[in-house]
Amino acid sequence: MKIQQLRYIVEIANQNLNITDAAEALYTSQPGISKQVRLLEQELGLEIFERNGKHIKSITGEGRKIIAIARELLAKTQSIKAIADEYTRPDHGVLRIATTNTQARYVLPKVVERFLTRYPDVSLQIHQGSPTQIYDALLSGEVDLAITTEAQYLFEGVVLLPCYNWNRSVIVKRNHPLVNCKNLTIEELGKYPLVTYTFGFTGASDLSQAFSSSGILPNIVFTATDADVIKTYVRLGLGVGIMASMAHTHEDSDLVAIDASHLFKSSSTQIAFKRGSFLRHYMYDFINYFSDHLTRPMVEQAEKLPNNSAIQKLFSDIELEMR
């Protein structure tokens, strides 16, 4: 059994069972991957993949268990190399981050600028995705850190650190009737078509809960994963926007942001990494740059706790910054 064979079966699973895509991702040949997978199956005496002719159609029950262990072994292999690099090339390396569009567009730029100034020889890679995609990328070892707000229930088996709180604003054009509304209510919002986040992004479920608790069915005419897209369709007159307050900037002078924090429960953005993974010193620094209270000693203390409930309790006395 070879590490490379394990890498092949994991990548086939990552690429939705497409061997050609797996070969491209690993910069090797499709026949080479197929041969090595067959050799591994012969050595183990069982099939990892169920086939229809030459095509893989599913993963066998045993194969799922093997691939899960293979992911862990590959992660441990990466950790061994990271430990060596920490001593031989302390300020060189790679930092891979998965996050949503809102974080990448409105929060990360200043953090990234500070990080790259301090660590010019670290290759920083940022990937955008949905909460589920972010979680899968973290668990599979494709990224080192994940920044998320929505679907935190997914993030079991990882260290989940609270960073900051945020809330929403209602975004309208300057001639919209809501500009003159002195007491914005859910009932008033319910009179207009709404443009907001796709469910599963940046607290969209909290928005639904607020309307539901008031007994109002919102007229959501457009959903997007990107705050800039929401603003585009508000400008076109499609509806009233509801999005993260941080996403309204000085560049949006043609739009009015009306504070809606009294209508919706605030959301908490978190940063996560796989439990048991080895963090390079520059990874601790990135976490601290993203959130001041997440110093290395605090993160190391959180790593030792058994679950995320205990971690939340550790930080319960800290008043998170509101953005």
Task: Answer yes or no: do 27 and 155 share one domain.
Answer: no
Q: Give the pLDDT band (50/70/90) at residue 286.
A: very high
What is the distance between the alpha carbons of residues 251 and 249, in angstroms, rounded to a whole number? Answer: 5
Q: What is the CATH number of the domain that holds 274?
A: 3.40.190.10
Domain boundary among the residues 21, 52, 81 is at 81
Give the number of C-alpha atoms closer than 13 A to the C-alpha of residue 256, restricted to the C-beta side: 12
Output the pLDDT for position 204: 54
Domain boundary among the residues 81, 109, 137 is at 81
Task: Answer yes or no: do 249 and 126 share one domain.
Answer: no
Output the pLDDT for position 221: 94
Output the pLDDT for position 199: 63
The amino acid at residue 63 is: G
Domain assignment of residue 204, yes or no: yes
In which domain, by residue range, is 244 found? 168-259
Domain assignment of residue 322, yes or no: no
Residue 85 vs residue 184, higher pLDDT: 184
Phi, psi of 51 (to 5 degrees): -115, 155
Tokens of 206: 């909290």
CB atoms within 10 A of CB 279: 23
Tens of pLDDT, residues 52-79 = 887 898 999 999 999 988 888 887 787 7
Residue 140 vs residue 129, higher pLDDT: 129
What is the distance between the alpha carbons of residues 19 and 237, in angstroms, rounded to a whole number? Answer: 46
**DSSP state letters, 79-132:** HHHHHHHHHHSTT-EEEEEEE-HHHHHHTHHHHHHHHHHH-TTEEEEEEE--HH
283 has a pLDDT exceeding 80? yes
Tens of pLDDT, residues 153-204 = 666 778 999 999 999 999 999 999 999 988 899 999 999 999 998 765 555 5
The amino acid at residue 180 is: N
Q: How many domains does the chain have?
A: 3
Q: Which of 185-189, 215-219, 301-305 has the lowest mean pLDDT?
A: 215-219
Task: Answer yes or no: do 149 and 99 share one domain.
Answer: yes
Tens of pLDDT, residues 12-33 = 998 889 999 899 888 899 899 9
Stated as kind and residue range, the H or E segment containing 213 is: helix 204-213
Output the pLDDT for position 88: 80
Summary mean pLDDT of the chain = 89
Domain boundary among the residues 30, 63, 81 is at 81
Output the pLDDT for position 49: 93
Output the pLDDT for position 151: 58
Task: Answer yes or no: do 153 and 172 share one domain.
Answer: no
Phi, psi of 257 (to 5 degrees): -100, 120
Tens of pLDDT, residues 231-278 = 999 999 999 999 999 999 999 999 999 999 999 888 889 999 988 888
Domain assignment of residue 253, yes or no: yes
Tens of pLDDT, residues 120-135 = 999 999 998 888 888 8
Angle between helices 3-14 and 61-88 (to 10 degrees): 120
292 has a pLDDT exceeding 60? yes
Output the pLDDT for position 111: 96
Task: Answer yes or no: do 172 and 255 share one domain.
Answer: yes
What is the distance between the alpha carbons of residues 104 and 64, in angstroms, rounded to a whole number? Answer: 33
